[in-house]
């Protein structure tokens, strides 16, 4: 057998195994109508650049589920893809152009597309590569991009269907406008931030020159767009003024004073300027009162000709000038500091401008109703559950969705306008004639659709919809939608709506939401803070398996993950531990094989330690499966970690060494070493695919006669617990042995006994005597004890002389090494132990003397407490005896 390196070297094997899996075609499921498939459609990363740790988390969790299900024998499809990310990508590409001092308008739509496609293709490639580095077992034969022909056709089809149903309409509405991106945004793409602004009190003179009315506003520069002043109808202060006219200063325009319930009498002066074209609530007031819309801005948020002398000024510069000028005319009453919340573009952080414009909208209410019902009725489950409420809250208050964007990068809206009859042609295929008058003088809408429109169709567009494909029939609906909670509204909610709308079926059965990745102090990761961990670098430094394990083991459903290098490092250490345990086992196997012996793997455990480790293994297997079913991957990781490291490596392997280098012939522990290792590898494979494959192949190589082993751990079966192997008696006895060894080590450390020095020990026990005796060699070696006597309690010498006496749960240990022991200190220690035991007994006595407890607590709890009391009472007696002997 070749030499196995002392430390695991991930770089050497990762690519090798990925390519092997790929070549074997394991990632592509076989369609078997008799079996229900497990399907995850990957949330497509934006083609804006490299993947970050959030993507690594998504990929890890999905791969964990997919590999687990695949090992459980389900046809498993994990469909990868990327998103064109309309506005985000356009921003990136425009920045790139800006470096060459060119704008997109300079080069034109066609050339811009060329540059953007080039960027997207590069990015798509590097994202796919990174997914492969991460070990993603997704089906590359089905990889999709949102702008691919299939998904694009799905987009046009969905649009046309909705339009024909009257669920898509075009209208002049107030929308959020980003002056930098120069496009409309949906409500979700606006981020509200608290801003320290001002409240300006402005006097509007009455047209009849009988005085003025003072309005309070945060945006004085919009007064050119005012078409009324509104007061509350109940407000006595202004009752007489309703119906009168006021004159807008500077531009000398007359507007009416109106009464509207929406006006809050306590805000400012109780009189509001109404600017329907630039404020959402004003827009509504305007609709109610039939007020004209006066748009005062250009797309770049400079003032337009409606601003009279201020035309051409940037909005904030205009504000300053307007304020100055009003002040000069004595029309500015006062300015107060004012904290208010202002919308910003989620992409570029520019303050958005609410603006009336002609856009396309989806009437979401009818779609939302169905989407609410499927979740309410339990067809779709959201994990963690608390997000269900948040989902309902949003869905129930849903607003129409503005889907048109004044961008170039995206799906062009499939609508053509007739130059002759003015009618619209809405068509899935490219239209050449007006569907009304037949004219060929038609022009396609210039705008593209919101990126999230195509994302909303992703669950079925990737499987071939609107075509009736085999994939769609077999793989839809998916099993789990796994993604971050930050896109619950953007994406998940809309997928549910559109999935139901397009296919009449739910798009997935379970929504699993993970949290955001933060740094080791819980701070958001950002370039600015310099606390970003780049996944590729982390992989190069620690290996993929370590990164994946760090992510999976630290992630709880719906909770943010704090991840520093330390976590990745300790995961790396675990991978290395696993590697070395395996290395040791292989070396032992080789040593045995060299002597010409064959190793039989299937052996019933007879010896205590073998029964114990097999029992523990099966408990862990059961527990891990249960946790995985419940999406508790982090806890599943720790179960395996604790078992592997804390039980198998720390105890079983150490004890097994005695039998591997026996003085006298002993039953070989190799079957159990190999079995536990092999099972653990399979348990761990979904979390750390590479190292487990490497080691598993090594197992396979060592046991070629084990014909049931498939070609890859990927296609091996996931371990299933054998409840028959669970052995409470062996667990109890081994716990006692471990307790003995630990206690002796503790004493050695306390008395600073030299590490290499052997000390004498006597152990007394009753019930567990045979089992403890069977571990005498282990105790001798692991606790550095020699000579060791194990005897029944009745043989206990009454006078032990100077010694440390340990009263344990089911045994006593006496360490009679006279010279070192400080008798009075020992007495003090035993006295403390007596006190502690007495206190606990008192506590238990009280509990067991309580009739309520006896009557109401479940039987097994009462039994347990009674047993504890017996044990403790027994211990107390023994401690008392030791104290009296020490004193005699």
Q: Which of 235, 569, 827, 874 binds RNA (CB under 7 A)?
A: 569
Q: Can residue 594 be called a binding residue for RNA (CB under 7 A)?
A: no
Residues 773-792 that bind RNA (CB under 7 A): 781-782, 784
Look at residue 537 and give its three-state secondary structure. helix
* 159 versus 648: smaller Cβ distance to RNA: 648
Name the minimum Å distance from CB 657 to RNA: 6
Residue nearer to RNA on the CB measure, 260 or 502: 260
Residues β-bridged to residue 202: 215, 332
What residues between 328 and 347 interact with RNA by CB under 7 A?
Answer: 341
Under 8 Å between Cβ of 750 and 742: no
Q: Considering beta carbons, is residue 242 or 808 the nearer one to RNA?
A: 808
Instruction: Classify residue 588 as exposed, middle or buried by CB count within 10 Å of its CB (0-12, 13-18, 19+).
Output: buried
User: Which of 144, 219 has the CB closer to RNA?
Assistant: 219
Binding flags for RNA, 62-91, as an x/- string (CB under 7 A): ------------------------------
Number of residues forming the site for RNA (CB under 7 A): 74
Query: Minimal distance in Å, beta carbon 56 to RNA?
Result: 17
3-state secondary structure 809-864: CCEEEEECCHHHCCHHHHHHHHHHHHHHHHHHHHHHHHHHCCHHHHHHCCHHHHHH
Q: Give Cβ neighbours of residue 713 (< 8 Å, ≥ 6 apart).
A: 681, 682, 685, 689, 692, 693, 696, 697
| Residue 756 interacting with RNA (CB under 7 A) | yes
DSSP 8-state assignment for residue 351: B
Least distance from RNA to the Cβ atom of residue 843, Å: 6
Cβ nearer to RNA, comparing 39 with 525: 525
| Residues in region 152-211 near RNA by CB under 7 A | 187-188, 190-192
Kindly give, in sequence order, each residue whose CB lies less than 8 Å from that of residue 789, ignoring residues fewer than 6 positions away: 761, 762, 763
Q: What is the 3-state secondary structure (H, E, C) of 658-683?
A: HHHCCCCCCCCCHHHHHHHHHHHHHH
What is the rounded CA–CA span in Å between residue 362 and residue 413?
13
Q: Residue-wise over 592-617: b if at least 16 C-beta within 10 A, else e?
A: eeeeeeebeeebebebbbbbbbbbbb
Cβ proximity to RNA: between 79 and 673 the closer is 673
Q: Smallest gap, in angstroms, from Cβ of residue 569 to RNA?
A: 7
User: Minimal distance in Å, beta carbon 389 to RNA?
Assistant: 6
Q: How many CA atoms lie within 13 A of 551 on its CB side?
A: 32
User: 558 near 513, Cβ under 8 Å?
Assistant: yes
Among 182, 580, 773, 774, binds RNA (CB under 7 A): 580
How many angstroms separate the CA atoms of 798 and 304, rounded? 106
Q: In the β-sheet with 415-418, what is the strand arrangement from edge to edge? A: 424-426, 415-418, 442-444
CB 424 within 8 Å of CB 415: yes
Q: Is the dihedral of CA 370, 371, 372, 376 positive or negative?
A: positive
Stretch that binds RNA, among 407-415, 431-439, 573-581, 665-673 (CB under 7 A): 573-581
Stretch that binds RNA, among 99-107, 253-261, 565-573, 797-805 (CB under 7 A): 565-573
> Per rule CB under 7 A, is residue 853 in the interface with RNA?
yes
What is the pattern of x (binds RNA, CB under 7 A) and - over residues 649-688?
xx--xx--x-------------------------------
For residues 477 and 543, which CB has a smaller minimum distance to RNA in the complex?
543
**Identity of the residue, 117 or 392, whose beta carbon is nearer to RNA in the bound complex:** 392
Which helix (H) or strand (E) segment holds residue 448: the answer is strand 448-449
633 lies in the site for RNA, by CB under 7 A: no
| Cα–Cα distances in angstroms (integers) from residue 170 to residues 21, 166, 409, 579, in the given order | 50, 10, 21, 62
Residue among 418 and 589 whose Cβ is closer to RNA: 589
The residue from 224, 584, 643, 690 that contacts RNA (CB under 7 A) is 584
Q: What is the smallest separation between the CB atom of 526 and RNA, expressed in angstroms?
A: 12
d(CA 781, CA 758): 9
**C-beta of residue 302 within 8 angstroms of C-beta of residue 295:** no
Taking CB under 7 A as the criterion, the residue among 602, 852, 884, 887 binding RNA is 852
Q: Which is nearer to RNA, 81 or 543 (by Cβ)?
A: 543
In the complex with RNA, which residue's Cβ is closer, 539 or 653?
Answer: 653
Question: Could you say which of 148, 295, 560, 874 contacts RNA (CB under 7 A)?
Answer: 560
Q: In this chain, which stretch among 62-70, 230-238, 613-621, 738-746 interacts with RNA, using CB under 7 A?
A: 738-746
Query: Alpha carbon of 183 to those of 90, 91, 358: distances in Å?
Result: 12, 12, 11
Calculate the CA dihedral of residues 556, 560, 564, 568 and round it to 10 degrees. Answer: 30
Longest dimension (CA), the chain: 118
Please, what is the minimum distance in Å from the beta carbon of residue 655 to RNA? 10
Q: What is the contact mask toward RNA in residues 483 to 522, using x (rule: CB under 7 A)?
A: ---x--x----------------------------x-xxx
- Nearer Cβ to RNA, position 581 or 790? 581
Write each residue from 694 to 733 as x if it is in contact with RNA (CB under 7 A), else as -, in one continuous string: ----------------------------------------
Q: Does 554 bind RNA (CB under 7 A)?
A: yes
Residues in the chain: 888
Within 448-490, residue ranges assigned H as helices are: 451-456, 458-461, 470-475
With CB under 7 A as the contact rule, which of the stretches 141-149, 177-185, 299-307, 557-565 interacts with RNA?
A: 557-565
What residues form DSSP beta bridges with 354? 176
Among 556, 725, 726, 886, binds RNA (CB under 7 A): 556
Cβ closest to RNA, residue 186 vs residue 503:
186
* CA dihedral over 346, 350, 351, 353, signed as positive or negative: negative
Of 160 and 178, nearer to RNA (C-beta) is: 178
What residues from 387 to 416 belong to the interface with RNA (CB under 7 A)?
389-390, 393-394, 397, 399
**Helices and strands, number each (H, E), in the chain:** 27, 29
Least Cβ distance, residue 601 to RNA (angstroms): 20
**Nearer to RNA (CB atom), residue 161 or residue 592:** 592
Site string for RNA, 856-885 (x = CB under 7 A): xxx--x--x---x-----------------
Name the residue among 400, 425, 405, 399 with its Cα closest to residue 414.
Answer: 425
**Residue 762, burial from CB neighbour count under 10 angstroms (0-12, 13-18, 19+):** buried
């Amino acid at each position: 057998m070749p030499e196995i390196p002392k430390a695991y070297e991930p770089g050497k094997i990762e690519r090798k195994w990925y390519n092997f899996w790929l070549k074997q075609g394991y990632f592509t499921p076989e369609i078997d109508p008799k079996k229900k498939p497990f399907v995850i459609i990957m949330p497509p990363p934006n083609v804006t650049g490299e993947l970050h740790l959030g993507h690594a988390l998504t990929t890890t969790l999905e791969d964990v589920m997919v590999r687990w299900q695949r090992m459980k024998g389900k046809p498993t499809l994990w469909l990868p893809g990327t998103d064109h990310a309309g506005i985000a990508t356009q921003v990136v590409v425009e920045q790139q152009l800006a470096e060459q001092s060119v704008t997109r308008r300079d080069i034109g739509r066609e050339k811009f597309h060329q540059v953007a496609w080039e960027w997207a293709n590069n990015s798509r490639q590097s994202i796919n590569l990174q997914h492969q580095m991460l070990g993603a077992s997704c089906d590359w034969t089905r990889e999709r991009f949102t702008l691919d022909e299939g998904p694009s056709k799905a987009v046009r089809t969905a649009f046309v269907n909705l339009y024909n149903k009257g669920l898509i309409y075009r209208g002049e509405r107030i929308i959020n406008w980003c002056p930098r991106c120069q496009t409309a945004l949906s409500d979700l793409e606006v981020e509200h931030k608290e801003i320290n602004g001002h409240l300006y009190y402005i006097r509007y003179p009455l047209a009849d020159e009988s005085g003025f009315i003072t309005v309070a506003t945060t945006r004085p520069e919009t007064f050119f767009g005012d078409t009324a002043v509104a007061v509350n109808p109940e407000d006595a202060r202004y009752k007489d003024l309703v119906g009168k006219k006021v004159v807008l200063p500077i531009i000398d325009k007359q507007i009416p004073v109106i009464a509207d319930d929406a006006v809050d009498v306590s805000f400012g002066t109780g009189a509001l300027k109404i600017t329907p074209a630039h404020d959402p609530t004003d827009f509504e007031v305007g609709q109610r009162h039939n007020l004209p819309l006066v748009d005062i801005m250009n797309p770049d948020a400079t003032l337009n000709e409606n601003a009279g002398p201020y035309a051409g000024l940037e909005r904030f510069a205009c504000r300053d000038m307007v304020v100055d000028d009003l002040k000069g005319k004595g029309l500015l009453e006062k300015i107060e500091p004012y904290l208010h919340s202002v919308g910003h573009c989620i992409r570029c952080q520019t303050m958005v401008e609410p603006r009336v414009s002609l856009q396309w909208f989806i009437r979401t209410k009818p779609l939302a109703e169905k989407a609410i019902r499927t979740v309410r009725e339990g067809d779709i489950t959201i994990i963690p559950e608390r997000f269900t409420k948040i989902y309902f809250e949003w869905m129930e208050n849903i607003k129409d969705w503005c889907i048109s964007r004044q961008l170039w990068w995206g799906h062009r809206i499939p609508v053509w306008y007739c130059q002759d009859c003015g009618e619209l042609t809405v068509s899935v295929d490219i239209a050449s004639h007006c569907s009304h008058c037949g004219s060929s003088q038609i022009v396609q809408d210039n705008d593209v659709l919101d990126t999230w429109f195509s994302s909303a169709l992703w669950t079925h567009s990737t499987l071939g919809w609107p075509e009736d494909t085999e994939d769609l029939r077999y793989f839809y609906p998916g099993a789990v939608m796994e993604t971050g909670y930050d896109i619950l509204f953007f994406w998940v909610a809309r997928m549910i709506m559109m999935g139901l709308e397009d296919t009449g079926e739910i798009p997935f059965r379970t929504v699993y939401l993970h949290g955001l990745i933060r740094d080791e102090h819980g701070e958001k990761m950002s370039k600015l803070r310099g606390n970003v961990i780049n996944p590729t670098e982390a992989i190069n430094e620690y290996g993929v398996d370590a990164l994946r394990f760090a992510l999976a083991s630290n992630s709880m459903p719906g909770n943010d993950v704090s991840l520093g290098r330390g976590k990745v490092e300790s995961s790396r250490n675990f991978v290395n531990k696993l590697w070395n345990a395996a290395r040791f086992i292989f070396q032992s196997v080789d040593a045995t094989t060299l002597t010409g012996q064959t190793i039989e793997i299937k052996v019933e455990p007879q010896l205590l330690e073998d029964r114990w480790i097999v029992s523990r293994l099966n408990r862990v297997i059961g527990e891990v499966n249960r946790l995985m079913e419940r999406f508790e991957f982090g806890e599943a990781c720790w179960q395996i970690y604790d078992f592997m490291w804390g039980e198998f490596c720390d105890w079983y392997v150490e004890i097994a060494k005695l039998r591997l280098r026996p003085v006298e012939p002993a039953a070989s522990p190799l079957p159990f070493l190999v079995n536990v290792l092999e099972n653990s590898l399979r348990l761990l494979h979904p979390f750390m695919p590479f190292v487990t494959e490497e080691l598993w192949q090594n197992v396979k190589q060592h046991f070629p006669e084990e014909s049931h082993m498939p070609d890859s751990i990927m296609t091996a079966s996931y371990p299933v617990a054998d409840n028959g192997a669970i052995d409470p008696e062996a667990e109890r006895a081994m716990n006692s042995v471990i307790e003995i060894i630990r206690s002796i080590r503790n004493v050695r450390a306390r008395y600073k006994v030299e590490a290499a020095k052997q000390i004498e020990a006597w152990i007394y026990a009753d019930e567990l005597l045979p089992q403890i005796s069977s571990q005498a060699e282990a105790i001798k070696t692991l606790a550095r004890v020699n000579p060791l006597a194990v005897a029944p309690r009745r043989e206990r010498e009454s006078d032990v002389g100077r010694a440390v006496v340990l009263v344990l749960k089911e045994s006593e240990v006496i360490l009679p090494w006279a010279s070192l022991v400080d008798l009075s200190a020992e007495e003090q220690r035993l006295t403390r132990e007596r006190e502690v035991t007495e206190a606990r007994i008192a506590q238990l006595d009280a509990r067991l003397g309580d009739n309520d407890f006896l009557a109401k607590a479940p039987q097994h709890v009462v039994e347990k407490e009674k047993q504890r009391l017996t044990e403790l009472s027994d211990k107390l007696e023994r401690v008392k005896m030791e104290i009296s002997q020490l004193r005699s």
